[in-house]
Structure 1
Amino acid sequence: MSIRKIKLDEWDLKGFYPFVPLLGKSLETGGELLGVTDWIPATVPGSVQHDLLQAGIIEDPYYGTNSLSCEWVANRWWIYRTKFDFNRQEGETVRLCFQGLDYKAHIYLNQSLLHTHEGMFQPLALDVTDLLRTENNELMVMFEHAPDEMGQIGYTSKTSTQKSRFAYKWDFSARLVPIGFWDEVYIGVTGRVNLKETRLEPEWNGEDRGVIRVKSLVACGSEGIGEFPRAISYRVAIYKDGNRVSETGQKYVVVAEQTVCEAELKIENPEFWYPNGMGDQPVYEVHVEIWDGEHKADQWEGATGFRSLAWVRNEGEPHDSLPYTIVVNGEKMYIKGVNLTPLDILYGNVSDDQYRRTVTMLKEAHINLVRVWGGGLIEKEIFYDLCDRSGILIWQEFIQSSSGIDNVPSKDPHFLRLLEETAVSALKTKRNHISLACWSGGNELTDHDGVPVTAEDDNIALLKSLVDTYDPGRFFLPSSASGPLEFLDVEQPGKNHDVHGPWKYGGPEKHYELYNRSDSLLHSEFGVDGCCSVSSMRRFLPDEHLKVTSVQDNLVWRHHGEWWDTLERSRQFFGELPNLESLAAASQWVQAEGIRYALEANRRRKYGNSGSIVWQFNEPWPNVSCTSLVDYYGEPKMAYYAVRQAYRPFHLSLKYDKLVFRHGETFKAACYVHNSGKNRSYDWQADCFDLNGNFLWTKRGSHIVGANSASQAAEFSMPIDERCPDVFGIRLRWDADTAQSNVYFFSARRESWFRSLWEGPKPILDCSLKNQTVSAGNGTSTGTFVVRNVGGSVALFVKAKAPPGADAADVRCLQNDSVLLPGESREFEVLTSIRAHQENLSSVLSNVSFQAWNDR
């Protein structure tokens, strides 16, 4: 922190062939060595690629196969340049602060080399107090070409950098390797005394009083070298909701070169922090100041809260397993999780609004934990701040990942030094966050035999020792998966502790057999792939590629989702697909069905199973098809709403063996109740119906369900014969509320199993805007629509549609994908946001329409 923070916003950028800037002039001619570009305006933070696009030097790398023509950028050297004046006051210490240098950077001030830095995740502060001029300072940062590193396929044992690997090519991204400042750059001004780091330690006495201990490492003078001993004042105040709730008086300490200053502040009747869905998230803001005589020398702000968090062993788990169940404030928490990739392949260009939108969508989907994946980033501070205030627990991985050919953590001494620097920086920065639940050594790390690593591995032992030193008491997992099996294998019962996979739909019978037989203690990564919407495809696919095709037949599609072709799967379910809209809809329906069933099957085993962490929530690159729940442009797929449904605090689910039946078989299913809250009584109703809305049978019951539990409520069966429709639905309802329902579809067709969902009479929807609220300040409007099915057939998966000219992601509705039988109605809450090309919020909302999935 600092008493003054001056952002350096006006930058220029120029590219060179490697090493050219070090020479400057030609040996042959003596003339200036020109760059591969002229000076162009640059955005900081950002990326070289973004600036080149803005300058018209490269084409949009997200469009078509343009990124292939942009790979040269990572192989050049780039110089950022800015000029500034600075008037230093007596007693001030001035530092150049770099929060995210990507990757190897040489920093020059007024033509003098200050420092050479390697690594993405270690902030750098350089004391320039005696080097600044009053006018016309020139700061230049020269980035070398991106280091040679592996994408998804390679040898983990040969990893040599701490650069985010996913941008070198992963199954959900192209190869587009960023260079530049991925986090902010500023001038930080302090007095002669400065705060190097601050740690917060909240404790609760179990009754009506809490304590927040604040410990700061304080340095005297320029980089800890100056006049000492000195008397200083260490002041701490704590605020909640803008009101001061505690503070220290002045405390004078004698500072040597570096000294630890401490304060203990009492909080009367503290409010407790809970994960999303368990309670509220009150945070206490901590303000620390250092005063040197009559002058404030430095300041720091952070936040914390009161909660206990422990990891305990699962109920009935094998004796050799790790603890996978989270207990918060004495209550078990079932993990309703997702895996997070970076929000953009050019991660330096992610805006604060994108982070806010992402965390909002996590919270609205009832998600309570996010795994920040080791192939990506240790995210910017704003993400963790938002998770603190939204109740999203963080599973943070260090920057290591599997590579396929071998997955053995690197032991290269240079790499281990970089890994340690990254880890120490992350530990000191993130440990204060109340949302931080655990650390992990990395993604899918194994020994040479493919067995998940343990702390016996030297690399992992180093990380564990650093966690024990800098964040003692925080849970540490060697890797995810943590073994003894890496991948779910129901043929080896008792060994599926923390497992990964699969990432594909297993078929109308095997998919359900797998999850019904699973005995995983924690399922920390798995998923099903599905297409994005056609409106999103239009943003990155050239017109000639907007057609039904596959990644085998179309190189552009292959470039945007190589591993995730769903064409044949979609044809199996729905027959021939007449247009791209049909393919997208069919693909998303199977993805949603597959993920929902996996989540509900795991949840039925609560707390034999501790939870699910879906792969993946988002994607950093636009894919035709991918395992993400939300596409690159922020538009949710059907799977997002299926996850939101499966993670609801109170929920009914259906257990079954398969989706497709033949005449002569018997449909059998069991209804389960899932309750994340207290004991409660409830009424349930199960309706079996055809696609015209005719009821084949209805069953009802009343039960009392225990707190924080899952249990079976009922069983159903039905003969599959000539009286059975080709496709029938089962709707589970509770508390006599159509809005509280969960709908499943089954087929008795021999082929094109679910084509009947698209055939037959179309539903007719009548909708009216009941009320609306416009908030011009934050650019949103909210409206309540009443949607009624006035036709003679079931309206499937009703969804709010953005009006022409608006981005689909700017119209959000949490009731999307509702099923309405003839004569039924439901209220839909629609939130619209405004972007630069839209002007009238009221107009956007009033032009929202609704469409049923089978009205195509």
Structure 2
Amino acid sequence: MASDAGTVEGVDLCERERPVSAPASERVSDLASGATYELKDAAAEELSLSGADWRLTGWYPNQWQPRLSMELGVSILPAVAELPATVPGSVQTDLRAAGRMADPFVGLDSLHGEWVTQREWIYSKTVQIPDGWERERCELVFEGLDYAGSVFWNGRKAADFEGTFLPVVVDVTGSLAPGGVNLLQVMFRQPPELDGQVGYSSRIRHLKARFGYGWDWIPRMVAVGIWRDVRLRTYEGVAVRDFYPEAAPAAAAGQGAVSFRTELEVMRSGAYDCLYALEDAEGRTIWQASRREVLRAGPVRLTLAAEVAGIDLWWPAGMGAQPLYRARIELRDGDGRILAAAARTIGFRRIEWRANPGSPAEALPYTAVVNGIPVFLRGVNWVPVSPYYGAVTEADYRARLDPLADMNVNVLRVWGGGIIETPAFYDYCDRRGLLVWQELLQSSSALDNCPPDDPQLLERLAAVTTAAVREKRAHPSLLLWCGGNELMWEGFRPVDERHANIAMLAGLIRELDPGRRFLPASASGPAFCADARDFGRGVHHDVHGPWLYAGSPGHYAFFNGDDALFRSETGTPGASRAGLLRALRGACDVWPPTADNPYWTHRGSWWVPWDAVSESFGPWRRDVDELEEFARCSRFLQKESLRYSSEATRRRAPQASGFLVWMGNEPFPNNANTSVLEYDGMPKPAYYALKKAFAPIHVSARYDRTDYRTGDAFRAEIHLHAEYAEALHPAAGAVVRAAAFDFGGALLAERDFAAFPLPSGSTSLGAVAFAVPELAEPVFLLRLEAAAMDGRTLAETTYLFTAADVGCSWEALRSLPEAGTVTVLPASAADREVLISNQSSVAAVELWIEAEDDEGRPVRFADNGLTLLPGECRTVGWSGGNGRLSSLRAEGFNARAEYRGEHS
């Protein structure tokens, strides 16, 4: 070797990773009696090789292979000289950190990174082995290599690999260098070419994250590199190849059942002590057992069934707590030495599926029942945090998942064109009660949406699915497996188990995770999208779309007539905040936001908002930069659209059993997109409307349109939503007030409704109605408030309406009289709260609060997009940042305020 990252000589191209055989038949023996043991850490004989001490070099294809150039007689130099690298990560993030690649999130600069996939890359690391560490067997374990190449150990090829989502285990027994200093190199070939969003699903031959090849919310950004952890492990006698402690509540309260299933590779026949234990969240052992096993060499499967007392149920978010337990196994020799160990986090809950009331006989059941209580699934579609998903940290996950958990989400659909999500993601969902709908790396392609049935691809898909199921199935957050996104036969008919691909996956799930739900695809049932012409025919089961606001009255008529049993994808685009659009423009022109502006087409070409915003808010001048107002209008349309579609679906519960927004997060800073969180995790206005619509207690209005004329009849049917009321609030009640106000705060109509005890589910309370009078300004609002018997506010919603004789439906919001006396300031030095007040004579409409800490990081508010009546003030909490605000401002359609004082 010339250097740590140099070329490799003396390579045997026929060497391969040694495969592990399939497990043998089950063996069971009696429990030992009377003995107790102290279990040790499961990873005692592992060395982590992850970290920032790797090196990276880039090569033109094959030029890393020969030691000398035949033409020149000198060493061939790499195309990209050695630079520092971090594992897990990606080639692109290492190049960016070294200043060798432009920031792909600025302007059009992602185009300047596309060359990376035209090179071959070598990661190198010197591995120091402690004296006496190596035992009978030694293995290199790569949890994720993206995508294909070879592993070299001390200058010789140890394995070839292919597949982003297949763990690679390389036997390096007996090949550790004298003195303990070893060279590890991982070479990546050029990644395969795949269809991006538009192409042919049936022709897919590689299981790599497809979104990176270009989707409507990300340009081409194809990741390469070591994207999950690397470790070196050693053991003797026996190795744990799979450990699955399946947990479920028992019939008696406070009792749980755990079925321990362990797959071993036994290298040496003999007697082993198998120790099992269950610990609570504080590390206290609440159950343990041991037994002596006499094992023959080869693959072995062990089982043990346990009944455990004193356990608490795990609940989805909003329904209760999420107690977690740690299940463990150790195998020891006769001297008590730990030879192998494994551990998993588990939770005790039972999930069943119930047919929707009144659904067609052939429809799948879509109502989730958790621990005996039906759950309305409310959530978002989740895509990778970054195109370079290997570099995503736990802090990055928290920055996106914390807001979603606070949005009252209880389910995340991990979309099929992305990745099998990481342990950090699942651990978070376990802790916060977020159910996970995990899809299996397949997606539609527009020209052909049928999944592949190529035998080699199905073999790879089976291997990847097996690895995913074994890694994820113990997580209490795992709700279901799904074959993929928008997989359909011709005519946009969702596939089912009649397709060989789906039949294979369904069979695997039945074999490996038999208690878990498997859906063939999303959407599922006879129809992909709901069509108003087919309402009432029973053909809308789990549907996708629409993805645009249809205006007034079209949007409201559609969702008032909707009959879908479940909505796993419904969305509307909204622009990012104007400050971010300006900050990331680079050398581009930020205005106008039109289809002939490359800044907008590069960063979300499907969702360029010019036409949609113009249709609702009237014309804009191309030669005058009005970005702030334009973005505000775009964001308002997304908010109005998603609020009504989500509320309308929830009003139909239990006939409708869930609503998932397309989409929650985004991996690239789009100028406009359907996400409710921006790239950096900051919410859009739609986020706050959904936060209320998804709350366990909510009050909503059903109406026919948002634009009126003087003398028109206005009518809104008021609904109270109180999920789990019978189980969680059996004695609670509420008073609901519906009040309509004009722009100056004068009362137009009001009505009170009593709900005692609090009804469970969605209940129509009655209606508020009046004739729209002649108004001084063509805007009025409807305020709904639900209060507990002790006066506490349980829920509050404000709806806007226009009453103009001419113009587009929302155009009146652009010319409202100014609310001149609006203030925003920190509420106190001790609390993370701000006080926003409207002391003017007119309403302040859609006030959006923004603030940064003294390091320039934006903070997130508990509520936002506020409409304040004259004389009204609100106290709003905030989170994030370092606790000190350096800037604070609020701006709406007709008001703006800024606080310039110091606060700490």
- State if a TM-score over 0.5 links the two structures: yes
Q: Deviations over 1:492-527 (max 9, x none)?
A: 231011110111111121111111111000011110
Partner of 2:618: 575
State which of 442, 451, 454 in structure 1 corresponds to 2:496.
454
Q: Deviations over 1:268-310 (max 9, x none)?
A: 2321111111111111122322223331122222111111101
Partner of 1:223: none
- Does the 8 Å contact 2:287/2:308 carry over to 1? no
Say which is worse superposed, 814-823 or 498-507, in terms of deviation: 814-823
Partner of 1:777: none
Aligned ranges for residues 497-516 of structure 1 at < 5 Å?
497-516=541-560
Partner of 1:836: none
Distance (whole Å) between structure 1 residues aligned to residue 825 and residue 491 of structure 2: 62
Distance (whole Å) between structure 1 residues aligned to residue 757 and residue 328 of structure 2: 45
Distance (whole Å) between structure 2 residues aligned to residue 66 and residue 799 of structure 1: 30
State which of 290, 299, 304 in structure 2 corresponds to 1:250.
290
Say which is worse superposed, 181-190 or 462-471, in terms of deviation: 181-190
Say which is worse superposed, 76-85 or 374-383, in terms of deviation: 76-85
Deviation at 1:677, TM superposition (A): 2.8
Partner of 2:821: 764
Distance 1:458 1:705, change over 3 A: farther
Partner of 1:751: 807
Aligned ranges for residues 713-724 of structure 1 at < 5 Å?
713-723=765-775
State which of 147, 160, 174 in structure 2 corresponds to 1:130.
174
TM-score by length of 1: 0.94
Say which is worse superposed, 248-257 or 714-723, in terms of deviation: 714-723
- Does the residue aligned with 2:180 lie in a helix, a strand or coil? coil
Distance 1:675 1:807, change over 3 A: farther
Distance (whole Å) between structure 1 residues aligned to residue 161 and residue 636 of structure 2: 48
Name the aligned partner's letter for residue 757 of structure 1: L
Distance (whole Å) between structure 1 residues aligned to residue 326 and residue 829 of structure 2: 35
Partner of 1:236: 276
Deviation at 1:198, TM superposition (A): 0.5
Name the aligned partner's letter for residue 381 of structure 1: P
Partner of 1:779: none
Distance (whole Å) between structure 1 residues aligned to residue 238 and residue 123 of structure 2: 31
Partner of 1:559: 602
Q: Deviations over 1:133-152 (max 9, x none)?
A: 13331111100101011100
Distance (whole Å) between structure 2 residues aligned to residue 621 and residue 112 of structure 1: 39
Structure 1 residue 374 corresponds to structure 2 residue 407 = no
Distance 1:755 1:729, change over 3 A: same
State which of 243, 257, 263 in structure 2 corresponds to 1:217.
263
Distance (whole Å) between structure 1 residues aligned to residue 630 and residue 236 of structure 2: 63
Partner of 1:464: 506
Tell me how large the CA RMSD over aligned residues is.
2.0
Distance (whole Å) between structure 1 residues aligned to residue 426 and residue 364 of structure 2: 26
State which of 692, 700, 709 in structure 1 corresponds to 2:752.
700
Say which is worse superposed, 180-189 or 468-477, in terms of deviation: 180-189
State which of 817, 820, 823 in structure 1 corresponds to 2:868.
820
Distance 1:691 1:16, change over 3 A: same
Aligned ranges for residues 75-224 of structure 1 at < 5 Å?
75-87=118-130, 88-89=132-133, 91-133=135-177, 134-208=179-253, 209-220=255-266
- Does the 8 Å contact 1:803/1:849 carry over to 2? no
Structure 1 residue 67 corresponds to structure 2 residue 113 = no
- Does the residue aligned with 2:533 lie in a helix, a strand or coil? coil
- Does the 8 Å contact 2:835/2:876 carry over to 1? yes
Partner of 1:647: 694
- Does the residue aligned with 1:250 lie in a helix, a strand or coil? strand
- Does the 8 Å contact 1:3/1:189 carry over to 2? no
Distance (whole Å) between structure 2 residues aligned to residue 219 and residue 804 of structure 1: 54
State which of 742, 757, 766 in structure 2 corresponds to 1:690.
742
Distance 1:803 1:436, change over 3 A: closer
- Does the residue aligned with 2:852 lie in a helix, a strand or coil? coil
Deviation at 1:853, TM superposition (A): 5.1
Aligned ranges for residues 610-649 of structure 1 at < 5 Å?
610-649=657-696
- Does the residue aligned with 1:38 lie in a helix, a strand or coil? strand
- Does the 8 Å contact 2:853/2:885 carry over to 1? no
Distance (whole Å) between structure 2 residues aligned to residue 62 and residue 787 of structure 1: 34
Distance (whole Å) between structure 2 residues aligned to residue 231 and residue 624 of structure 1: 64
- Does the 8 Å contact 2:734/2:758 carry over to 1? no
Deviation at 1:543, TM superposition (A): 5.5
Deviation at 1:567, TM superposition (A): 1.8
Deviation at 1:170, TM superposition (A): 0.3
Partner of 2:902: none
Distance (whole Å) between structure 2 residues aligned to residue 807 and residue 416 of structure 1: 49
State which of 836, 841, 851 in structure 2 corresponds to 1:802.
851
Name the aligned partner's letter for residue 818 of structure 2: P
- Does the residue aligned with 2:311 lie in a helix, a strand or coil? coil
Structure 1 residue 658 corresponds to structure 2 residue 705 = yes
Please list every run of 5 or more consecutive structure 1 residues that lacks an aligned counterpart in the other structure. Answer: 221-225, 774-781, 834-840
Distance (whole Å) between structure 1 residues aligned to residue 363 and residue 289 of structure 2: 49
Deviation at 1:727, TM superposition (A): 1.1
Name the aligned partner's letter for residue 477 of structure 1: L
Partner of 2:649: 602
State which of 876, 881, 885 in structure 2 corresponds to 1:845.
885
Deviation at 1:379, TM superposition (A): 0.7
Distance (whole Å) between structure 1 residues aligned to residue 365 and residue 619 of structure 2: 48
- Does the 8 Å contact 2:817/2:894 carry over to 1? no
- Does the residue aligned with 1:95 lie in a helix, a strand or coil? strand
Deviation at 1:22, TM superposition (A): 3.0
Structure 1 residue 479 corresponds to structure 2 residue 525 = no
Say which is worse superposed, 177-186 or 209-218, in terms of deviation: 209-218
Name the aligned partner's letter for residue 826 of structure 1: R
- Does the 8 Å contact 2:197/2:216 carry over to 1? yes
Partner of 1:344: 386
- Does the 8 Å contact 2:853/2:859 carry over to 1? no
Distance (whole Å) between structure 1 residues aligned to residue 217 and residue 192 of structure 2: 21
Partner of 2:11: none
- Does the 8 Å contact 1:218/1:255 carry over to 2? no
Distance (whole Å) between structure 1 residues aligned to residue 774 and residue 873 of structure 2: 32
- Does the residue aligned with 1:35 lie in a helix, a strand or coil? coil
Say which is worse superposed, 593-602 or 287-296, in terms of deviation: 287-296
Deviation at 1:737, TM superposition (A): 5.8
Deviation at 1:831, TM superposition (A): 1.4
Partner of 1:838: none
Deviation at 1:752, TM superposition (A): 4.3
Say which is worse superposed, 260-269 or 556-565, in terms of deviation: 260-269
Distance (whole Å) between structure 1 residues aligned to residue 46 and residue 856 of structure 2: 36
Partner of 1:399: 441
Percent of paired sites with the same residue: 34
Name the aligned partner's letter for residue 540 of structure 1: L
- Does the 8 Å contact 1:393/1:437 carry over to 2? yes
- Does the residue aligned with 1:278 lie in a helix, a strand or coil? coil
Distance (whole Å) between structure 2 residues aligned to residue 571 and residue 379 of structure 1: 39
Deviation at 1:827, TM superposition (A): 2.1
Aligned ranges for residues 485-496 of structure 1 at < 5 Å?
485-493=527-535, 494-496=538-540
Partner of 2:338: 296
Say which is worse superposed, 261-270 or 458-467, in terms of deviation: 261-270
- Does the 8 Å contact 1:572/1:751 carry over to 2? no
Say which is worse superposed, 641-650 or 161-170, in terms of deviation: 641-650
Deviation at 1:431, TM superposition (A): 0.6
Name the aligned partner's letter for residue 282 of structure 1: P
TM-score by length of 2: 0.89
Name the aligned partner's letter for residue 647 of structure 1: F
Deviation at 1:180, TM superposition (A): 0.3
- Does the residue aligned with 1:162 lie in a helix, a strand or coil? coil
Structure 1 residue 355 corresponds to structure 2 residue 397 = yes
Partner of 1:45: 88
Deviation at 1:711, TM superposition (A): 1.6
Distance (whole Å) between structure 2 residues aligned to residue 190 and residue 795 of structure 1: 68
